[in-house]
Amino acid sequence: MAAHNLGTELDLSWISKVQVNHPAVLRRAQQVQARRTVKKEWQAAWLLKAVTFIDLTTLSGDDTSSNVQRLCYKAKYPIREDLLKALNMHDKDITTAAVCVYPARVCDAVRALKAAGCNIPVASVATGFPAGQTHLKTRLEEIRLAVEDGASEIDVVINRSLVLTGQWEALYDEIRQFRKACGEAHLKTILATGELGSLTNVYKASMIAMMAGSDFIKTSTGKETVNATFPVAIVMLRAIRDFFWKTGNKIGFKPAGGIRSAKDALAWLSLIKEELGDEWLKPELFRIGASTLLSDIERQIYHHVTGRYAAYHDLPMS
Amino acid sequence: MAAATRTAPRAREIFTTLEYGPAPESHACALAWLDTQDRHLGHYVNGKWLKPEHRNSVPCQDPITGENLASCLQAQAEDVAAAVEAARTALENWSTLPGARRAQHLTRLAKMIQKHQRLLWTLESLVTGRAVREVRDRDVPLAQQLLQYHAVQAHTQEEALAGWEPMGVIGLIVPPTFSFLEMMWRICPALAVGCTVVVLVPPASPAPLLLAQLAGELGSFPGILNVISGPTSLGPVLASQPGVQKVAFCGAVEEGRALRRTLAGQGLELSLALGAESLLLLTEAADVDSAVEGVVDATWSDRSQVFQAGDVPSDSPFYPPTLISDLPPASPCAQTEVPWPLVVASPFRTAKEALAVANGTPRGGSASVWSERLGQALELGYGLRMGIVWINAHGLRDPAVPTGGCKESGSSWHGGPDGLYEYLQPSGTPARQPSLSENLNYDTFGLAVPSTLPAGPETGPSPAPPYGLFVGGRFQAPGARSSRPIQDSHGNLHGYVAEGGAKDIRGAVEAAHQAAPGWVGQSPGARAALLGALAAALERRESALAARLERHGVELKVAKAEVELSVRRLRAWGARAQAQGHTLQVAELRGPVLRLREPLGVLAIVCPDEWPLLAFVSLLAPALAHGNTVVLVPSGTCPIPALEVCQDVATLLPAGLVNVVTGDRDHLTRCMALHQDVQALWYFGSVQGSQFVEWASAGNLKPVWVNRGLPRAWDQDAEGAGPELGLRAAQTKALWLPMGD
C-alpha cells in the first residue's frame, strides 16, 4: 500500500463555508447510476477488477477460526480457476484487496492467510465497533492490540456525538490519536454516515478525517440502518477531490454495507471513475467492504464465460 | 461443468485500462418498423398512412454512421389541406364528447405507448443520435405521464373549465432539433380540452409519425392527431387553411418573428416558444459541485438538443461542448443563437447586478439560481424575468407545472393549467373570420396625423371638459401643440382634446416604467384599496359622467347604468386580484412549485370607440389589479369621460400608473405597437389596426390581444369582466423550490 497520509494541521476554514444541497445531490446520484453501463467483456473485466477492490468481510457474533479460514481462502481464490483461464486472466493473481474481521479474529486470519501462502492484508475493525461508544483509552488500546496481532489496516469508527454537536477539534484530536496508535498500519476511518444527520455533516466529517491523517474514509459500519448510498458517496468523493486539490494527497474511499450485487459493484466503479477519475481505481485508493458481493460477481463471470446461469453449488462458498 | 465455451480476448486489456465499452442497444425493432413502411415514410393522416405520388423525398439518416435508413416524403400544400380537413372532420365529434370519454382515449394512448416503448426509444435514438438511456429513462416515461395528467384534466374539464370551449383545429410546428416530447407537451393539452391537431414536423422525423400511428391504431377517433412532414416554410400554408384556429410554433427566435409577421391579420391565434438558452446564477453561497452538474444538465437539456448532425468542426458527428468565459454582454457572440452545447460564463458582483445582467437580455425562458441562502435565492428567483426558475436545480419538468417563457422567448405555455388555456377560448367566441387586408401598408399605416382645425363655436358645456394628455399623474400639453375637436351626438362641438403623438407615447411609456416598481411592490390588498377609492370617486362623479355620456347620445338612464357598472368593475377586480397564483405539488419532488402570476409590465391599451366609459374602466381595472402600469388610448369618438376619470386618478393613484393619451388612434396605435419597451398591447379597434398590431408586435414579440374589428359586449360580465381578462393581464412564472437537508 502507498505511503501514509500524514494529514495536515486542523484548518476549520476548509469546512466552515461548505454547502451541500441535498436534493441536488440526490438527483446527481440518480443520474450517475443510470448514465453508464458496461456490457460483455467490458463487464467481465470490470467485475474482475471489482474483485480486487473487495475487503472481504465477516463481522458476525458467531465468527470462529473455521469460517475465518474459509473466508481467507476465498480471498486468495475469489474466482474459479477455470473461469479465469477462459478469460485469459489466470496469471493476473486476482485476489481480494484484504480480509476484514473483528479484532479477536485477527490472529486467525493472519494464520490462515499465511497458510494459504499469500500476503493479502488483514484489516480489523476497532475503536468500539460499530457504535464507538466506549472510552477513548480502551478504543486506542484496541487499535494497538489489533496491530500487534498482525492487522495492517485498521477500520476505526468515529465518535458520532462529536459530529452531531459540532466538536470538530475534538474529532480531529481523536482521529489524530487513532492515527498514532496505528503506527505503520493504515487508518481507515468509518464515518457512519447514516448517523450524521445531514450531507453537510458528511462533508465536514470527511474533511476532518482526512486532515487528521486517515488513509481511507469509509461510509458506514454496515450496522447502521442506512449504509453506503450514492448521495453520501458523492459528497465524500467531492471532499476527497477538494482535499486532493488543497494538499495534493490522494485519500482512498471505501463504501461498505449493502453492496450485494455485481450490478451495484459496477455502478460504484463507474461513480469513482466519473467523480475522481481512473487514478482512484486501484486497491490503494478504492475498496468495497462486502461479504456476499463476491459470490454474485463470481456467478456473473460464470454466466459470461459459459452462457449459463450457475447453480448455487457450482461455485465454492466463502 | 467445464468453462471455456466463450472467450473474451479483450478482457485482459480492459482489466488494466478500465475503459467504458460500447453498450449497444439493438435497433432491430426500429429497423423492422421502418421495413413495414418499405423504408419509405409518408404522412399519417386520419388514421392512415398518406403517401401521395410525385413528391420530393429526403433521406432519413443515422447521424452516427451516415447510413440511409429511409426516405421521407416532403408534404405539399394539398397534403397539408388533407390533414387539416381530417382534423376538422374529427373535431365535430371529438370536441363535443364528454371529457370523461376523451380522458379514456388519452389513457388508452398512454398504454399504447407503454406497450411499444422499446420501438419508440430505439427509433428516436437511432434517428437523432441521442443516447438510449435519455430517451428510454426520461422522454418515454414523461410522454406517458403527460397523457395521464391530461387525461385527468379532461375528466374534470366540464367542472373546472366551465365557460371555456376548445379553440378548434390546432396547427403545431416543431423544428428539427426538438425531440418528440416537445410535440407531446403540446398535443396532450390540446387533445384533452377537445381540440384536434395537425403537426408539421421536419422531414426525417419518424418518432412523431410513429406516435400518430399508435394513436391511429386505437381505432376510434382517427384524425384527432395528424402528422405531416415537410419544411418549416409550409407553416404559413398550414396556418392559412380554413378551420385552423391556432398555430403553436416552437423554434428559433428569428423564425418565430418572421412567422408572427406573416400571420398578421389572418385571424388566428399564434403562440411562440422560442430559443433554447437557459441561464444559471451561481452565487458564492452555492453548493458549487451540484451547480456544476446543473450546468451540464442545462447544456444537455432537451430544448437545446446538443447532438447535432450536420456541418461539424471535428471528426465526431456531434458538436463539441464549448465553454466561453469572460464574455461581456456587449460582445456580438453573447447575442447570437447557436445550436450547439455552449456555456457562456460571466461574472457578477452582487445579487442586484446578477439580476440586472440576467434581465438585461431580450430572452425570458428559464433560469436556475444556486444559493443555499434562502433569502438570496428567493430574491433572485422572484426578481428574474423568466418563465421558469429553479432554485438549486436545473431542467426539472413535470406535466403539472406550467413551462413557458416571456419576452422574446415567446409567451406560450405548456403543462399545468396554463397549458390548457392555450387551447381554450371563452365559450361563444366567434369562429375565425378571414379579415386579412392584403394591401395594408405596414410602412405607412398610422404614420401621418391628419391636421385638425378649429371646428366651429364651442357651445360651452359646463363645466369645461379637462384638457391635455394625462401623463405622469398630471394633464400636460401635447408635444404637437395641437388639438382635435370632439363632437357630440348632434354634431356640435363638445370640446377639444389634445393631439398626442410619438413623443407623447414615449413620455407616457417612460412614466409608466417609472411607476412600475412601486406598483408591483404594493400588496394586492393595497392595490384593491386604491381601486376601491377610485370606484368611490367615480360614484361621486356619477352625474357629471352621465351628463358627458348623455351628450354623446346615450340615454340618461343607460348612462347612469354605465357609470354604476364601471364602479362595480373596479371593485370586483380589486377583490379578484387578491387570490393570485397557487402552489403546485409535483410527484417525486419534495418541496413545492409556486405558480406565480406576475404583472406584464407596461401594458398599452387601445380602448374601443363604443362604451367610452365602461370599456375604458373594464380594461383599466384588471390591468391595474394585476400590478401592471398602463398607457391608454381612450375612445376616439368620446374620449372625454376617460379624461374625466383621470381627474380622480390624479389625486388618488401614484403618478405614472395610469397614462391616457388622446389623438389619432391609428397613429397612437402605431407608436405603441412599435415601441420595444411596451410589454403587452391590447387593441380594440379596426380590422386593419388589429392586423398592424399583430405585425408590429414581432419587434419585441410582445403578447397582443386584438379584436379584429369585432364588437364586444362590455356590459355583459362574460365579455366585459370574464376570466379571460384576468388571464391576459398577468403572466405566469413557475418557481421550483426543491427541499431537503
Closest residue to A23, CB basis, from B7, B23, B590: B590
pLDDT in tens, B23-55: 778 899 999 999 999 999 999 999 999 999 999
- Minimal CA separation from A44 to chain B, in Å: 7
Average per-residue pLDDT for chain A:
94
Is the alpha carbon torsion for B124, B126, B129, B134 positive or negative? positive
Residues of B in contact with A39 (CB under 8 A): 21-24
Say whether A218 is catalytic.
Answer: yes
Residue B458 has pLDDT above 70, yes or no: no
Average pLDDT over residues B670-674: 97
pLDDT tens digits, one per residue of B245-279: 999 999 889 999 999 999 999 999 999 999 878 88
Write out pLDDT tens, residues B368-394. Answer: 999 999 999 999 999 999 999 999 999
Percentage of chain B modeled with pLDDT above 90: 72
Distances, alpha carbon B220 to alpha carbons B184, B190, B207, B225, B542, in Å: 19, 17, 21, 12, 59
- Chain B residues touching A46 at Cβ < 8 A: 14, 18
pLDDT band at B460; cut points 50, 70, 90 = low
Inform me whether the pLDDT recorded for B400 exceeds 80.
yes
Pairs across A and B, CB distance < 8 A: 131
User: Comparing A265 with B339, which gets the higher pLDDT?
Assistant: A265
Residue partners of A112: CB distance under 8 A and separation at least 6: A65, A68, A69, A71, A72, A73
* Contacts for A121 with CB less than 8 Å, ≥ 6 apart: A1, A97, A98, A99, A152, A153
Q: Give the separation between CA B312 and CA B66, rounded to whole angstroms.
A: 13
What's the distance, Cα to Cα, between the start and end of chain B in Å? 52
pLDDT of residue B316: 62
B657 pLDDT above the threshold of 90: yes
Q: Say if the Cβ atoms of A89 and B14 lie within 8 Å.
A: no
What gap in Å lies between CA A2 and CA A5, rounded to an integer?
A: 9
Q: What are the grid coordinates assigned to B526, written together?
A: 393595497
pLDDT of residue A219: 96
Scanning B573-592 for CB atoms below 8 A from A yields 590-591
* Interchain pair B740, A83: CB under 8 A: no
Chain B residues with CB-CB distance to A82 below 8 A: 2-4
Contact of B26 with chain A, judged by CB distance below 8 Å, is answered with no
Tell me: pLDDT of A123 over 90: yes
| Cβ-Cβ contacts under 8 Å, B9 against chain A | 41, 88
Residues of A within 8 A of B370 (CB-CB) are 21
Q: Is A39 a catalytic residue?
A: no
In angstroms, the CA A146 to CA B97 distance is 78
Q: Look up residue B295 and give its amino acid.
A: V
Cβ atoms of B634 and B642 closer than 8 Å: yes
Cβ-nearest to A89 among B12, B19, B137: B12
Cα–Cα dist B239/B172, whole Å: 9
B12, A26: Cβ pair inside 8 Å? no
Is residue B579 very low, low, confident or very high in pLDDT (cuts 50, 70, 90)?
low
Out of B3, B4, B287, name the one closest to residue A19 (CB).
B287
- Which residue in chain B is spatially nearest to A94 when comparing CA positions? B15
pLDDT for residue B134 is more than 80: yes
Question: What's the confidence (pLDDT) of residue B8?
Answer: 46
Nearest to A307 among B5, B393, B590 (CB): B5
- Contact of B719 with B643, CB cutoff 8 Å: no
- Which pLDDT score, from 0 to 100, does residue B1 have? 39
SS3 readout for A63-122: CCHHHHHHHHHHHHCCCCHHHHHHCCCCCCCCCCCEEEECHHHHHHHHHHHHHHCCCCCE
Dist. CA B378–CA B371, nearest whole Å: 9
Chain A residues touching B398 at Cβ < 8 A: none
- What are the cell numbers at A56? 472481504
Choose among B11, B286, B739: nearest Cβ to A87: B11
The pLDDT value given to residue B2: 41
Q: Provide φ and ψ at B352, rounded to 5°.
A: -60, -45
* DSSP tag of B704: E
Q: Do residues B224 and B191 touch, judged by C-beta distance below 8 A?
A: yes
User: Distance (Å) from the C-alpha of residue A274 to the closest C-alpha of chain B?
Assistant: 11
Catalytic residue among A76, A188, A204, A218: A218
What's the pLDDT at B325? 83
Do A23 and B289 count as a contact with CB atoms less than 8 A apart? no
Report which listed range, A26-40, B310-324, B500-514, is most confident: B500-514
Query: What does the alpha-carbon distance between residue A109 and residue A285 come to, in Å, rounded to a whole number?
Result: 23
Query: What is the predicted pLDDT for the residue at B331?
Result: 81
Check if A145 contacts B (Cβ < 8 Å). no
Q: How far apart are CA B109 and CA B47, in angstroms?
A: 13
To the nearest whole number, what is the mean pLDDT of chain B? Answer: 90
Contact B110, B144 (CB under 8 A): yes
Q: What CA–CA distances, in Å, run from B204 to A212, B556, B716?
A: 61, 67, 50
Q: Do A24 and B290 touch (CB under 8 A)?
A: yes
Beta bridge partners of A190: A157, A218
Res A278 pLDDT > 80 = yes
Residues A171-214 have pLDDT tens digits of 999 999 999 999 999 999 999 999 999 999 999 999 999 999 99
ipTM over 0.95: no
Per-residue pLDDT at B4 = 43
User: CA B158 to CA B420: how far, in whole Å?
Assistant: 13
**Chain A 34-63, residues with CB within 8 Å of chain B CB atoms:** 34-42, 44-46, 48-49
> Across the interface, do A48 and B11 touch by the CB < 8 Å criterion?
yes
Hey, is the C-beta of A304 within 8 angstroms of any chain B C-beta? yes
- Whole-model pTM? 0.91
